[in-house]
Amino acid sequence: NAGVTQTPKFRILKIGQSMTLQCTQDMNHNYMYWYRQDPGMGLKLIYYSVGAGITDKGEVPNGYNVSRSTTEDFPLRLELAAPSQTSVYFCASTQTGAMNTEAFFGQGTRLTVV
């Protein structure tokens, strides 16, 4: 049982380049999330999805896009990479949107923009 899988684990991008961070889960969870983790700042929500075909902005969506064509996959797209997007990115999923639901996280993608 793989849970939440993210690829790649590490990536270096040049300013202005684009890339897609992949996230897939095999728990049939409807809710999926993308967070970024900056040093000393905790995790900030970028985008989330409540089901296939439905996405919405979180706290820090600028510079990112997402899509959710299937229940399993929730890729995060960076179109024009900027140094401010250097961070560790985490994908997560929950079974429901209830207040007590436990989140399952991937191992993270460490992105450096130079």
Partner 1 sequence: AQKVTQAQTEISVVEKEDVTLDCVYETRDTTYYLFWYKQPPSGELVFLIRRNSFDEQNEISGRYSWNFQKSTSSFNFTITASQVVDSAVYFCALSALMDSSYKLIFGSGTRLLVRP
Contact residues: partner 1, CB under 8 A? 31, 33, 35, 40-45, 48, 50, 56, 58, 88, 90, 92, 97-108
> Is the CB of 85 or the CB of 108 nearer to partner 1?
108
Tell the smallest beta-carbon distance from residue 82 to partner 1 (Å): 23
- In order, the DSSP letters of 61-103 are -TTEEE--SSSSB--EEESS--GGG-EEEEEEEES-S-TTPPP
Angle at CA 31, nearest 5°, toward 83 and 109? 30
Q: Taking the complex as a whole, how short is the minimal distance between the CB of residue 16 and partner 1, in angstroms?
A: 27
Residue 62 or 100: the one with the smaller Cβ distance to partner 1 is 100
Nearer to partner 1, 14 or 41 (CB): 41
Q: How far is CA 23 from CA 1, 5, 16, 61, 102, in A?
A: 15, 6, 22, 17, 18
User: Smaller CB distance to partner 1: residue 28 or 39?
Assistant: 39
Closest distance between partner 1 and the C-beta of residue 80, in Å?
26
Q: C-alpha angle 89/90/96, rounded to 5°?
A: 145
